[in-house]
Amino acid sequence: MRVGIRLVSLQAIVALVIFVATAATIGSALFIYHGRTSAVERAQGELRNYAFVLAEQTEQALQAVEVVQKDIIARIRYSLLFGDRDFNEIGTSEPIFAALAEKANELPHVRGLAIVRADGITLATSQGRAGYRPYDVSGREYFRNVIADPTVETKISPVIASLLTNRETIMVSRKITSSRGLVLGVINAALELEYFNNLYGRLVGNSQLETALLRADGSPLVTFPTKPSATPLNADILDALKSQDQARTANLVGGDGEARLAAVKASSSFPVAIVVSDAYSSILSTWKLHAGAIAGTAILMNIAIAFAWYLGRRQMNSSVMRAATESYLARHDVLTKSPNRLYFLEEMRRTIDASVAQSREFALFVIDLNRFKEINDTLGHPTGDLMIQSIAGRLKEAIGDMGFVARIGGDEFAIILQDAGAQKDVEAFAGEVVAKLEAPHQIDERVLQCRCSIGIAIGPTHGATADDLLKAADLALYAVKATPKLSYRFYDAEVNAERLKRRDLENALPHAVENNEFELFYQPIVSLKTGRYWGFEALVRWRRPGHGMVPPNTFIPTLEDMGLIIALGQKILVDACVAASKWPVSKHVAVNVSPIQLASDEVIDHIRGALEVSQLKPSRLTIEVTESVLLGEGAIERLRAIRELGVSIALDDFGTGFASMSYLQRYPYQKIKIDRSFVANLSDPKSQAIVTATINLAQALKIETTAEGVETVEQLEALRRAGASQAQGYLFAKPMPENDIPAFLSQTRLLKPAPYAA
């Protein structure tokens, strides 16, 4: 009987050894295969991100050229309509030479501008009238195409040699037609190839990636590096060029015969596309090292198993294995596989002991993702989980072997930088972390961005224990979140005082909402087309007992963090609509809606209720939303529901957040508000170009524009010339209580209507 039992036990052990060895081999093979797949998928995501960013930057450069060309054409058409000169006289006039020179100087990527007759003879160039000599471009293919084809308005040439300088350039040629559709000529813009090379080099950095700007037919316009190994002209690439919605990936073979992975992003507005590629040998280099190590480990594991069986080890200590597994799970985050808060505190204690023994300092970073809850609320928790995993991966890349990273909360991470060094070194590392985290993240089919705040404490200077250092870093983090312009801050004596102020604010705000301590002021908005006041924007003010007026940027973020903004926002909507119902029927009211309100389905009922209570016509109400947050599909539906009520929607602070031009297509906006930071710097050519481009874009999309913060007559006249629809600011009036509005409207003289913007 005992012999039988022993034989059965021996057979069971042999079977177990065979099973474990087979499982190890199969598991290693699957792990290696999965590792290769993951490496390729990761490279695809990174290449799509690069292609998306490069395509957007290229499109912005081409749109700036388009705006300038349209502006020159508009001047010519106006002169033809209201003058007695023909195209030849206008095209060779001094104002046209001056305008070409001025516009060419504004755009760093434009080498020169030229007006060309329909027969190919130039009339004027941006080089000026002095020393000007006409030249003939009638033999150029791009010119013949844009002149002869009635369906073509703009043509982008291949790389050609300039007739003036003999330097290589790309010509963007736009047709000039009369009011009756007669083709008069073209306006040519010669692009600076070096500008795009520098742009792509700056965005791609020191990586091994190769970048190409292609025409729709696949012919290259700009390549970086200048002599790449890739030749992206195959069926997969050409097929990918047809997709304008998103970046697509394709395979290609370089000129050196090496296989490459590429991402292609076609422009939605111009017949060009960006191709970014990387060699498979580079993509898989790390995987090959890991695969070799895993394969070697698997072989050694099989040898070890066989040797262990040969020595007669009959049992496996399952309790030890279980304890190790339980220990790992207890000290690691399941979602990101990063150390959790428990493991982090253990590492903190070890680091503190080592720093004291070695008389050196270390840095503790506590990192919080700003408005991460809105990603979960608008895009769903699965998307939020993927975003958290992406954040964790980038933090691990940033710290490398210099320290330790852990996930210590839902959207909160911590980093221990083992050797702090000088403060400037810690600041440099903090800047790198911010740049990594705030760069676009490819999450499924979406490209998302998420800002972060970082509190920094230096150990053991700011605390002798893990709890003390965490408290110091948390206080610095609160100070950062209270100052939106900051991304990180060190703990110091002022931080405690600021935290006490915020705590005092947090204690006072619930009573302020309950006791109705908030009141509305109204700032007029003037129409630059008619000179009449369009209406007023409602602005909330807090007259805190014993403190006077508290600035909105001090209490609004805290109201949002505490969840009080929804109740206050509902009351603001009602009060503003009731006030507007007492004004003349031609006057409108604009009300800001917080992203927190927009994330709730209740916002539709709140707007509908405010209109019913006040009996205000929906067309007299405008809801203003900010672009500083990423809006999900739920927000799109809510904005559309607001539009169905008959209420207008304005995009506030345009150009200061993450929004791209695709926002103007996806969301039902009727107005863009140009941020006061651009208006204040209108004397700066760059700010002036941004404002002009924004207004021209809005006009093309049939969207009105309101310029905020107008304080001088010079700013007003510049905005009028640019074609802005409306303006508001201290030049017209400061925000006023509701009771002052009737007297203001009765005493205020109308502005002189805007003249034609030449």
Helical H segments across 84-205, by residue range: 87-91, 94-106, 141-148, 193-204
Q: Pairing state of beta strands 412-417 and 403-407?
A: antiparallel
Residue 227: what pLDDT? 65
Average pLDDT over residues 257-265: 82
H-helix or E-strand containing 496? helix 493-514
Distance CA 52, CA 275 (A): 10
pLDDT at 274: 86
Contact predicate 237/259, CB 8 Å: no
pLDDT class for 3, splitting at 50, 70, 90? very low
pLDDT at 657: 53
Give mean pLDDT, residues 523-533: 93
Contacts of 417 (CB under 8 A, 6+ apart): 362, 363, 364, 365, 399, 402, 403, 426, 429
State the average pLDDT over residues 180-192. 89
678: left (phi over 0), alpha (psi -120 to 50) or beta: alpha
| Banded model confidence at residue 221, pLDDT cuts 50, 70, 90 | confident
Strands of the 210-215 sheet, one edge to the other: 220-224, 210-215, 272-279, 259-266, 248-253
**What is the C-alpha end-to-end distance of the chain, expressed in Å?**
108
Q: What is the pLDDT of residue 1?
A: 39
Above 90 in pLDDT, residue 624? yes
Pairing of β 446-448 and β 272-279: unpaired
- The number of angstroms, rounded, from the C-alpha of 612 to the middle of its chain's C-alpha atoms is 38
Bridging pattern class, strands 122-125 and 154-161: unpaired
Residue 135 has pLDDT above 90, yes or no: no
Q: What is the pLDDT of residues 464-508, one digit of tens each?
A: 899 999 988 988 888 888 776 789 999 887 776 677 777 888 888
CA distances from 350 to 214, 312, 407, 463, 683 (A): 55, 40, 18, 14, 56
pLDDT by residue (tens digit) across 716-748? 999 999 999 999 999 999 999 999 999 998 886
- State the pLDDT at residue 758: 31
Q: How confident is the model at residue 216 (pLDDT cuts 50, 70, 90)?
A: confident
Backbone angles phi, psi at 334, to 5 degrees: -65, -40
pLDDT tens-digit map of 26-40: 866 776 777 788 888
Please report the pLDDT score of residue 368 as a whole number: 93
Q: 225 preceded by cis ω (within 30°)?
A: yes
* pLDDT average, residue stretch 563-588: 94
**Per-residue pLDDT, 324:** 58
pLDDT band at 393 (very low <50, low <70, confident <90, very high): very high
- Structural tokens at position 148: 């002869």
**Residue 661: pLDDT over 70:** no
The closest alpha carbon to 382, from 37, 718, 632, 45, belongs to 632
Chain mean pLDDT for the chain: 83
Query: How far, in Å, CA of 514 to CA of 488, rounded?
Result: 34
Name the token pair of 707. Answer: 């310029």
* Angle, CA 536 vertex, CA 531 and CA 537 arms, to 5°: 130
CB atoms under 10 Å from CB of 10, counted, come to 12
pLDDT at 320: 46
Give, for 749, the enclosing helix (H) or strand (E).
none
**11: pLDDT strictly greater than 60:** no
Mean pLDDT of 147-153: 86
User: How confident is the model at residue 635, as a pLDDT?
Assistant: 76
Task: Quick: pLDDT tens for 541-574.
Answer: 999 998 888 888 888 888 887 888 999 999 999 9
Scan for tokens 């994330």, then name that residue.
599
Q: Answer for the pair 403, 470: CB distance below 8 angstroms, yes or no.
A: no
pLDDT tens for 307-355 read: 655 655 555 445 545 655 677 888 899 899 999 999 999 999 999 999 9
> Which pLDDT score, from 0 to 100, does residue 606 have?
96
Would you state the structure tokens that stand for residue 209, as one six-digit string?
């990636």
Please state the rounded mean pLDDT for residues 526-536. 93
